[in-house]
Amino acid sequence: MSIKLGVPSKGRLMEKTFDWFGARGVGLSRSESEREYAGAVTGVEGVDLVLLSAGEIPRELAAGRIHLGVTGTDLVREKLVQWDQQVEPLAELGFGQADLIVAVPACWIDVDTLDDLDAAAAAFRARHGFRMRIATKYHRLVRDYLRAGGVADYQLVDSQGATEGTVKNLTAEAVADITSTGETLRANHLKVLSEEPVLRSQATLFRSRAAKMAPGDREALKALCATLGL
């Protein structure tokens, strides 16, 4: 048997994860063929690399199909009910930092806080006969945040990508999405509410609380954690 380590299969997250492990003496690499989702681990025994979509890693951890996984805290908290009972964060990796925020059209000059958004949402409904639409893929986190902030008269519309474009495309009045530099928001004439973000996220190494381990696996996990300095 062996420990399964799930890592994002593409892009910045994959490269920075490889760098983070490499700097600590654990070599991670993707197979020669760019299209094959297989990889290799050097520097420790008994660890298999599993390349997965960042968005699927929370579910794989919760199901116990991987023992360890790297993904954003935003994805874990959004996708796993009572996330901390299903996974344990072992290390924040210091990259993939982004804030989950709520943004409205920059021209809404009298909307700056959640109270303002609530007032605007009520006025919107009275005027248009339907609830203000907020586009997001973070349904659970945004719903909880808006409930706590006292915003009532809105509806979430699902957007799995290019979320900032929904306002221009007239499929939403506001958005809740991840931002790091703010460039995408600015380019789409949106402004962030001047409130604490819904969540501050970064790439994190998680341990599954559900994954079964054979006796040898425990040793492999201990050796890996020791090598990583955890």
Interacting residues with ligand ATP between 7 and 46 (CB under 6 A):
11, 13
Nearer to ligand ATP among residue 178 and residue 228 (C-beta): 178
Task: Decide: is 55 part of the binding site for ligand ATP (CB under 6 A).
Answer: yes
Nearer to ligand PRP among residue 46 and residue 55 (C-beta): 55
- Give which of 54, 79, 82, 48 is closest to 66, Cα–Cα: 48
3-class SS at 5? strand
Nearer to ligand PRP among residue 26 and residue 96 (C-beta): 96
- The span from the CA of 14 to the CA of 26, in Å, is 14
| CB of residue 71 to ligand ATP, shortest distance in Å | 6
Nearer to ligand PRP among residue 105 and residue 182 (C-beta): 182
Residue spans of beta strands (DSSP E) within 93-183: 98-105, 132-136, 154-158, 174-179
Residue of the chain from 114, 146, 178, 199 that contacts ligand ATP (CB under 6 A)? 178
**Residue ranges in contact with ligand PRP by CB under 6 A:** 161-164, 177-184
Count how many residues are written for the chain.
230
43 with 223: CB under 8 angstroms?
no
The option from ligand PRP, ligand ATP, none interacting with 183 (CB < 5 to 8 A, set by class) reads ligand PRP
Q: Return left, alpha or beta for 225; rule: phi > 0 is left, psi -120 to 50 is alpha, else beta.
A: alpha
Nearer to ligand ATP among residue 22 and residue 55 (C-beta): 55
CB-neighbour burial class of residue 220 (10 A; exposed 0-12, middle 13-18, buried 19+): buried
| CB of residue 41 to ligand ATP, shortest distance in Å | 21
Task: Decide: is 227 part of the binding site for ligand ATP (CB under 6 A).
Answer: no
The option from ligand PRP, ligand ATP, none interacting with 164 (CB < 5 to 8 A, set by class) reads ligand PRP
Count of residues interacting with ligand ATP (CB under 6 A): 14
Strand 3-8 versus strand 68-72 pairing type = parallel
